[in-house]
Amino acid sequence: SDAHELMNNLSELEFVILDVRSPGEYSEEHIARAENIDYMSKIFKSEIDKRDRNKKYLVYCRSGHRSSDAVKIMIELGFTDIHNISGGINKWKGEGLPIV
């Protein structure tokens, strides 16, 4: 719910919602405006490395494990404003927050 509140208070240009699940999981359901980069993909690190380090990132997966690992990689690459959606999309849905 903190992530949802943050999203409502920021301009779409100020932050990126990053879904690090597989493309199949993403296609089933995801948070609106989320971009998908599969954490398990061989190109994950190189794809993340292309991103704007000046933006705020909200990162999530199914339960929080992959997104925690993704955040660690992002920190190694020099990203500083990263927020892991604790509990992932499962918790998001459990709190009745919107998905598409």
Residues that are catalytic: 61
Contact in structure between 52 and 92 (CB atoms under 8 Å) = no
Contact in structure between 63 and 88 (CB atoms under 8 Å) = yes
- First-to-last CA distance in the chain? 17
